[in-house]
Structure 1
Amino acid sequence: MEERPVEFGGALRRLREESGLSQSALSARIHYSKGYLSKVETGKATGNREFAKACDDALTAGGVLAALVRERAERQETGDVVTAITGLPPTTPHFTGRSAELARIAAFVASEVGETACVLSGMAGAGKTALGLRASWDARESFPDGCLFLDLRGHALGTAMATAHDALDPLLRLLGVPGEQIPPHVDARANLYRSRLRGKRVLLFFDNVRSAAQVAPLLPAEPRCRVIITSRNRLNALDDAVHLPVDVLPEREAVVLFRAVGGDRARAAADDVVGRVVERCGRLPLAIRIAAARFRGSPLWTVEDFEQRLADETSRLDVLDDGERSVAAAFSLSCQALTDEQLRLFGLLALHPGRDVEIRTTAALADAGLAHTRNLVDHLGDAHLVAHDTPDHLAVHDLVREFARDRVLPGITADEQAAAVLRMLDHNLLLAESSDEFLAPHRFRPPFTPNDLPEVSEKFTDRESALTWIDVEWPNLVGLCHLAAARGLHRLCWQLAYILRDFFFLAKLWDPWIDTHLVAASSARAVGDSKALAMTLDNLGMAHVDRGDLEVAVGYFEEALELFRELEDEHGITDALSNLAWAALYLDDHQTALRGLREVMESYRGRGRTRSAAIALRGVALVETELGRYSEAVAHAEQARGEFEGLALHLDVVMSVNCAGWAHFQAGDHGAAVGCYGEAVELGERCGSRYEVARALTGLGNVREAAGRHGEAVELWAKADGVHGGLNPVMIGEARVRFGLSGFV
């Protein structure tokens, strides 16, 4: 008996080596773990017909291995008594990927020491059962006393959850205990169950477990037994178990799954279209399988048509329902154990426009303190309805958020929803304003009067925290601008857009800058706020100037100027005239630019607006450089720098240093230019302006190229492109010179 698995394993090893395959290469072809393959080859596991056929096919062995398995079966039928039960359900033929998870489970089941239970937890539809079954089938030959499967119905629709008492009855019967000998009490059943497993090596698979208490009495004391558990909850109380989270599929594996289930038309479809389909499904295996099955059963659909149906968020969950399986139904079951307060927060999260939500914003939605909100979120996380990206941010899967919006949020009154949105907007506007105060401390900001600030809303106390926050949160703030407009909260919409301007200028995020200000302009018009509209249009023009769309920018500036004059707003008039003068500079109307910048500089000084005056002075220096008045340009750039240093405006300082470097370069004083540009690199890195660093590096490259050191120039230009690609030659003289010197390198 002992030699029979060795006989099969030896033949397998010989055939593999003759084919020139390593164990890793063969395991990848047959989709069994390398560890299991090694055990078969050494006789520690026996191999079965399915395994033998897979090896025969991979090694083109002509059925040699399958024949050995048949011979072994015949010997067993005539002389050996087989008592072990393998009650595992069949695996899906379309199982895809999960190699890392399979390897980890294989290592767990192969061990005869340490933890005896492994919990596979993840959101509904993540493929936990399929993963556990595949791993169990791979390992079944290592459990000579049997492999048992039991669905505990922890999240089953219309069926009562199985208790430990319920589960122990069939388990004991499978272990050979006659029905009349099964004790009535759960503790007695558990004692008998553990006794029956003593000295045996059995693999137990408990599927669909809701709680640790449900499964704890089913855990064997025998150290050679192994238990695989699947659950939508984390089962934190099973602290002696191996915990393996099961996430959505990577994109490549998600595409493979859709093609496999979707049939020939899916396999023939273009990669980019199938990629969009699986992204619409959130790369969730259940959603992909339903989508692929529906596509396969609808021959009139093209993949492009199907992708467009999934693109509609209002009906996506309906598409992901094939009559027997439903993503929405699966999520509904995950909500069963939530308290009313937890379910309320889950619904309110759907009001947030982004996938990632900061914990303080979550607390604002809940109208709760931070500690209590963390506790609520932890319970949602335990049910895999949210995930933690970082300790202070949670993520909501796209399909889960759509489910919360469509099926949970309607259970919350309209008044309560409106109050939650207002708290969320007030909270984020306060933090955005606080961040902007560190970014541009001397900037004019319209007064912000919050409606009812949540308990968690506190301003930043240091620059680093403020800028780190806005660097992460700006996509959500863009979404909140649109949300405010859609909810008719127009004042909050345009104020938030206005506050974001300086960050967008620093980061050179022109598209969201323009996007937020377009919706803000619509909001200002909706409430007839001419002052807000004029300021927004002026900022829109600045965005277009910074991007190099000069004619568009001039149109916005002129419209803003007209509104400011109607309002007799001298402050606004001067700003609009200043912006028009800057546009004239970039349009090569240098005399108009010089005259306009000098006039607004004097106006700013007369009004005590030191920063604005220094900005105009820097503009004068740029115009003077274009006019060849280099010594004046250098003097004015250095004067502007000094004024900015006095105001502790670090970004404006580095812009002035680059301005001086540009004037020195144009004057032919390359040594002085190198000094300025080198200092600008250091200052720009310190204040976080990649744009100004790239400008300075480009200037240094220009100096090297002018000196005939082409290789060094190319390295510096490449470094500049790596820091911030695409400096606009219309706006940046250094970029214009680079293209002229290098032939567009």
Structure 2
Amino acid sequence: MSEGAGEFGRRLRRGRETAGYSLADLAKRIHFSKGHVSKVENGLARPSRDFAEACDAVLGAAGALSELARVAAPSPGGGISGLPMATPHFTGRHGELVLIGTALAQATATGCSVLTGMAGVGKTALAVRAAWNAEQDFPDGCLFFDLHGAEVSSAEALDRVLRTLGVPGADIPPDQDGRANLYRDRLRGKRMLLVFDNVRSTEQVAPLLPAEPRCRVIITSRNRLNALDDAAHVPIAELSTAESVELFRSVVGERQRMPTEDEPVAEVVACCGGLPLAVRIAAARFRSSPTWTFEEFASRLAGEAARLNALDDGERSVAAAFALSYQRLPEQLRRLFGLLALHPGRDIATHSAAALAGVGVGEAERLLDQLADAHLIMPRPGGYWQFHDLVRMFATEHALSEVPSADRDTAVRRLLTLALSRARACDELLAPQRFRPTPVPGVEPLSAEEGFPEWDTALSWLDLEWPNLVAMCRMAAARGEHERCWRLAFLLRDFFFRTKLWDPWIETHRHAAASARAIGDTTAVAMTVNNLGMAYADRGDLGLARDHYQQALALFREAGDDNGTTSALSNLAWVNLYLGEHEAALRDMKVALESYRRTGSARNAAITLRGIALTEVELGAFTDALRHAERAHEDFRGSDLDLAMSLNCVAWVHFRADRHAEAAAHYEQAAELGERGRSPFEVARAKTGLGNLAAVAGRPEEAADLWAQATRLHNGLNPVTVGEAAARRRLQG
């Protein structure tokens, strides 16, 4: 190494230490690996022009380091340097650069680094930057070849590489094996770095991998190239919001029209989904349109319908980049890719993908893996798959349009049928005694293999899947699948009651009510409106709850549905309880109780007994209240949630009757059952009750701790509907 390189390293170290940077700090700021910075400082690697200029800028060396780099540069006659220019707007990727730099520098490295990721994620820019970082370590040359996906065969690529290495065309063998042998021979004893960009498959690139252990290869691909077992695989993800903002500002350059704050810029780059290509195009369009204000540009980009069109600057296009990946898919994968765009949720379960495609789950998983290998979807934990937002837009606009309309409708119907079957199976486990309408014709029960072995498994599935099921209700209503819409909402009610997910409960039932009206099913409208009233009551919106219960009561009477009439009457009685109209509440609950007992509705009777007990507490009839609360507890069977609710009711009666020891014992049991039944709400209610008891007993620290536990478990205990929450408010002053 020349004396100039040694002097550069000494000067660099002094500047870095004066600035207070560690090796890692400087490496991150100049976008080179820590190992390369260390080599340059110790005179073991020559500084490139880009390296020197970056150090000048970060350390404020006013060009001194660039001049030293010029002196340290090797004399003409070295290896070929064919790397393309590195972009001056390169942003982020410090961790990836370290991984690649380490793989290139290690003597025991496999010799090959594979950078994979979706179209537009910046694989090529990263490969070029990593190659420039390591250029000085490869004195025999650094070469770059774009294989253009499938457009360049292995034989054609070998021909290009051999000519670049100085082999006359007449000496290049006509067959691929002959070219590969000559290629390996020409690299024997050399230390070269080769970058192969846009590789389609392992088969395409395998003949281009040198046998010389001192040579290194960087590969970029939209496919995972899983068969390159010995390679160092570096997955390339999207940029963070902060990195995207930095890139956008760097490309725009001119600051006059740019906001000084990062927040509005972050909103713009969020539309780009962290894809460097999209960020660059957006920034270039804004920079080249001087009449736009930043707010006008942000508004143009925010509209999803035209976003892909907005991300096209005339020379580069996000949609065109995706199209290359899509067009390379076989027909079966193209069809699945388009059908997946029909799924209304963000996370797509393998079972749902199978339903959309009309194939078995095993076949769907195989196809989904192939789409993920092509970086057109992303695998998620728990057997789910996800689109990047911009890829979903592309799939909707370009791939779905290739699927015939009739096939799309059939796929949606299969998806909704699956959702109904699974939701019904879950509801039967969570609320086995609940009334359920007969299934839609064609919606078959799940087989033993497809179903859920126990209620806990069903609840876990709903915890994951409910956002998708809400979106399916919305989709069913919009597509005129009204029967499926209202029935799916009906089957979700008990889950939403258990989890206190009031907003999705209300949204699904609003869609369901409109769908039931659209098909003229009065009973379905009544049941849906009644359930909607329950959501409002549970949330504490008593005026809205009363309005919906009264509508449901009139509709049930119109339909001649005696059970429904009793249900609406009972629900109105609960509203009267919460509103303080205790005599009316007690009267109507007793009427409902007689009706439930007459029709054999044991669970509804027990729930009504609990309501009677709570009403009697407010009337001061503690003996009757305790008798009814304990009877309600005795009548519940099988559901830990129902048992926890009844024990909390018994505990509340004891608390109000000043029997504190009995209240504490029942609250403890209720908390245990609530935990077992996975009901944070009932556990929080029990903890609140125990905190109230501690406060009354003069133990304020214990009370505060129990109340804090309750708040952490569920911050939605409403003093209007939960007696323990009202008591806590009074005790806290």
What's the TM-score once normalised by structure 2's chain length? 0.96
Over 3 Å counting, the alpha-carbon distance change for 1:22 and 1:482 in structure 2 is same
Change (3 A) 1:728 1:33: same
**Offset, 1:267:** 4.3
- Contiguous gaps of at least 5 residues in structure 1: 156-160
Q: 1:305 and 2:279 equivalent? A: no
Match of residue 24 from structure 2 = 24
Preserved contact between residue 354 and residue 476 of structure 1 (Cα < 8 Å):
yes
- Match of residue 71 from structure 1: 71
2:344 to 345, 353, 373: 353
Change in 2 beyond 3 A, CA 1:422/1:36: same
Q: Trace 1:654-669 onto structure 2 (pairs within 5 A).
A: 654-669=644-659
- Opposite residue 124 of structure 2, the aligned amino acid is T
Contact 1:144/1:202 (<8 A) preserved: yes
- TM-superposed CA distance for 1:407, in Å, is 0.8
Q: Which residue of 1 aligns with 2:525?
A: 533
Matches of 1:705 and 1:366, distance apart in 2: 60
* Conserved? CA contact 1:367–1:454, under 8 Å: no
How far apart are 1:391 and its partner, in Å?
5.7
CA spacing shift, 1:274–1:60, aligned 2, 3 Å: closer
The answer to whether residue 475 in structure 2 is matched with residue 480 in structure 1 is no
CA distance in 2, matches of 1:308, 1:705: 55
The Cα of 1:269 is off from its aligned counterpart by 5.7
- Name the CA distance, whole Å, in 2 between partners of 1:23 and 1:251: 25
1:222 alignment partner, one of 196, 202, 212: 212
**1:246 has 2:236 as partner:** yes
- Equivalent residues of 2:474, 2:508 under 8 A apart: yes
For residue 3 of structure 1, report the CA deviation from its aligned partner.
4.4
In structure 1, C-alpha distance between the alignment counterparts of 2:119 and 2:297, rounded to whole Å: 23
**Distance in 2 between the 1:266 and 1:738 partners?**
54
What residue number does 1:14 align with?
14
Q: Secondary structure at the match of 1:88?
A: coil
Is 1:626 paired with 2:618? Answer: yes
2:559 maps to 567
Match of 1:151 in 2: 146
1:699 maps to 689
The amino acid that maps onto 1:97 is G
Aligned residue among 206, 209, 216 for 2:196: 206
SS for the counterpart of 2:543 is helix
Deviation at 1:498, TM superposition (A): 0.6
Q: What amino acid sits opposite 1:538 in the alignment?
A: N
Determine helix, strand or coil for the equivalent of 1:153.
strand
Q: Does 1:184 align with 2:179?
A: no
Distance 2:626 2:242 in 1: 56
| CA distance in structure 2 between the aligned counterparts of 1:460 and 1:324, rounded to whole angstroms | 53
Task: Sort the Cα spacing of 1:81 and 1:265 in 2 relative to 1 into closer, same or farther, 3 A.
Answer: closer
Match in the other structure for 1:129: 124
The Cα of 1:454 is off from its aligned counterpart by: 11
Percentage of identical aligned residues: 55
1:113 corresponds to 2:108: yes
- 1:296-695 matches, within 5 Å, as 296-390=287-381, 392-451=383-442, 458-644=450-636, 647-695=637-685
* Contact 1:113–1:224 under 8 Å retained in 2: no
Q: What is the CA–CA distance in structure 2 between the aligned matches of 1:8 and 1:260, rounded to whole Å?
A: 28
More displaced stretch, 388-397 vs 549-558: 388-397
What SS is found at the alignment partner of 2:115?
strand
Change (3 A) 1:489 1:269: farther
Distance in 2 separating the partners of 1:239 and 1:706:
68
Q: Distance in 2 between matches of 1:418 and 1:148?
A: 51
Say if 1:430 and 1:459, in contact at 8 Å, map to a contact too: no
* Deviation digits for residues 248-295 of structure 1 (CA, Å, limit 9, x no counterpart): 222222232233334426741654433332232222222222222222
Q: Supply the AA of the counterpart residue of 1:447.
A: T
Q: Distance in 1 between matches of 2:84 and 2:139?
A: 18
1:480-532 Cα deviation digits (max 9, x unpaired): 11111111110100000111100011110101100011111111111111111
Q: Which moved more, 1:604-613 or 1:373-382?
A: 373-382
CA pair 455-531 structure 1, distance change in 2 beyond 3 A: closer
Counterpart contact for 1:260–1:267, Cα < 8 Å: no
Q: Which moved more, 1:535-544 or 1:275-284?
A: 275-284
Q: Deviations over 1:306-361 (max 9, x none)?
A: 33333333222111222111111111110122121111111111111012111111
What is the CA–CA distance in structure 1 between the aligned matches of 2:372 and 2:186, rounded to whole Å?
Answer: 37
8 Å Cα contact 1:259/1:266 also seen in 2: no
Residues of 2 paired with 1:589 and 1:101: CA distance? 67
* Secondary structure class of the residue paired with 2:233: strand
Give the deviation of 1:692 after TM superposition: 0.9
Closer/same/farther in 2, CA of residues 454 and 146 from structure 1, 3 Å limit: farther
Match of 1:158 in 2: none
Listed one character per residue, the Cα deviations across residues 220-271 of structure 1 (whole Å, up to 9, x for unaligned) are 1111211111111111222221212112222222232233334426741654
Contact kept, 8 Å, 1:423 with 1:452, in 2: the verdict is: no
Give the equivalent residue in structure 2 for 1:175. Answer: 165
Secondary structure in 2 matching 1:357: strand
Is the 1:427–1:454 Cα contact (8 Å) retained in structure 2? no
* Counterpart Cα distance in 1 of 2:234 and 2:72: 37
> Which amino acid is the alignment partner of residue 33 of structure 2?
S
User: Which stretch of structure 1 is more off in the superposition, 623-632 or 594-603?
Assistant: 623-632
State the distance in 2 between where 1:81 and 1:520 align. 77
Tell me, in whole angstroms, the C-alpha distance in 2 between the residues paired with 1:713 and 1:300. 63
Task: Show CA shifts across 1:703-727 (max 9, x none).
Answer: 2222232222222222211111131
* Distance in structure 2 (CA, Å) of the matches to 1:305 and 1:734: 52
Does 1:49 pair with 2:55? no
Mapped pair 1:96 → 2:91: yes
Q: CA deviation at 1:390?
A: 2.8
1:60 aligns with 2:71: no
Q: 1:523-567 CA deviation, whole Å, 9 max, x = no partner?
A: 111111111100010011000000000001100000110011111
Task: Output the amino acid matched with 1:95.
Answer: F
Alignment-mate amino acid for residue 325 of structure 1: R
Contact kept, 8 Å, 2:46 with 2:72, in 1: the verdict is: no
Distance 1:430 1:499, change over 3 A: same
Contact 2:113 2:219 in 1 (8 A): yes
TM-score by length of 1: 0.95
Query: What SS does the aligned partner of 2:118 have?
Result: coil
The answer for the alignment partner of 1:729 in structure 2 is 719
C-alpha separation in 2, matches of 1:254 and 1:266: 18
Please say if residues 28 and 94 of structure 2, whose CA atoms lie closer than 8 Å, have aligned partners that are also in contact.
no
Q: What residue identity is the alignment partner of 1:185?
A: D
Farther off after superposition, 572-581 or 366-375: 366-375
Cα RMSD after superposing both structures = 1.9
Contact (CA 8 Å) 2:32, 2:94: kept in 1 or not?
A: no
* Structure 1 range deviating more: 301-310 or 600-609: 301-310
In 2, the alpha carbon distance for the partners of 1:484 and 1:140 equals: 58
Shift in Å, 1:449: 2.6
What is the letter of the counterpart of residue 17 of structure 2? E
How far does residue 19 in structure 1 lie from its aligned partner after superposition? 3.5
- Letter paired with 1:190: A
**Are the aligned partners of 1:517 and 1:536 in contact in 2 as well (CA < 8 Å)?**
yes
Task: After TM superposition, give the deviation of residue 432 of structure 1 in Å.
Answer: 0.4
How far apart, in 1, do the equivalents of 2:184 and 2:201 lie?
20
